[in-house]
């Protein structure tokens, strides 16, 4: 296949995948599309250009279980604490596990889920209504979820100050993002949850904590009529 033809083919394919998201009618369809993305059957999403990150792959099984419970995850990271050499300096990196997900307010469950998650003393949680930009009461404040420090010698790392790398639970206006401009998303009255470990160095099973809380909320699994095992054409 010639280069020009290959580029045209790839552009047409990308356009078709974009149309799948735009043509979705409801939240269950978005869940199905995102599950296909996690499984590598769809190459990208409105919120992420390209396949999932390598660090996400070990989390896929747990993320799929959350989708089955009607939570659409769009960002996550595992626990990490590592040392490595970069050029002539040593680097120490830390990550707190975190996950961001969206649920439909049509279930009338966001407040209950927030209350259940807040009972866990080892995590922090923020819940935000997308289109009103309202943060639900009893939400936590922004936290750093990854950081690093450097030194010439590995034994000197502990004396260096940490530099924040990424944060979670930030106050964000999601309403203008492409993902939340989809008609199916607007119909669902979405609420975004950000959940992270409260402390550094805690290798907790965050996705399992969220899953257990959702089970207590009695969120039903996707119905067969909502394409549980079907294909999107």
- pLDDT above 70 for 12: no
- Residue 128's pLDDT is 96
DSSP state of 180: G
pLDDT tens digits, 79-127 = 999 999 999 999 999 999 999 999 998 656 899 999 999 999 999 999 9
Which of the four pLDDT bands, split at 50, 70 and 90, describes residue 1? low
pLDDT tens digits, 196-220 = 999 999 999 999 999 999 999 876 5
Across all residues in the chain, what is the average pLDDT?
88
CB atoms near residue 48 (< 10 Å): 15
The reported pTM is 0.87
CA 3 – CA 197 distance, rounded (Å):
47
Strands (E) across 78-158 are located at 80-86, 89-95, 98-104, 123-129, 134-135, 143-151
- pLDDT above 70 for 25: yes
Per-residue tokens: 8: 């045209």
Q: Among candidates 121, 153, 116, which has minimal Cα distance to 136? A: 116
- Residue 49's pLDDT is 87
60-72 burial, b at 16+ Cβ within 10 Å, e below that, comes to bebbebbbbbbbb
């Amino acid at each position: 296949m010639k280069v020009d033809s290959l580029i045209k083919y790839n552009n047409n394919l990308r356009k078709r995948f974009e149309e799948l998201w735009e043509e979705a009618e409801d939240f269950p369809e978005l869940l199905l599309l995102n599950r296909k993305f996690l499984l590598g059957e769809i190459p990208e999403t409105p919120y992420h250009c390209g396949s999932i990150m390598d660090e996400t792959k070990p989390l896929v099984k747990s993320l799929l279980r959350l989708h089955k419970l009607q939570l659409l995850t769009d960002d996550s990271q595992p626990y990490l604490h590592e040392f490595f050499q970069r050029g002539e300096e040593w680097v120490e990196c830390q990550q707190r596990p975190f996950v961001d997900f969206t649920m439909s307010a049509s279930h009338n469950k966001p407040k209950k889920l927030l209350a259940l998650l807040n009972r866990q003393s080892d995590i922090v949680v923020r819940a935000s209504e997308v289109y009103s930009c309202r943060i639900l009461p009893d939400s936590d404040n922004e936290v750093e979820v990854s950081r690093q420090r450097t030194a010439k010698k590995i034994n000197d790392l502990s004396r260096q100050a940490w530099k924040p790398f990424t944060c979670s639970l930030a106050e964000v206006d999601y309403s203008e993002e492409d993902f939340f401009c989809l008609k199916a998303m607007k119909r669902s009255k979405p609420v975004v949850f950000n959940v992270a470990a409260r402390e550094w160095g805690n290798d907790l099973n965050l996705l399992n904590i969220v899953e257990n809380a959702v089970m207590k909320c009695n969120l039903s699994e996707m119905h067969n009529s909502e394409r549980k095992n079907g294909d999107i054409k």
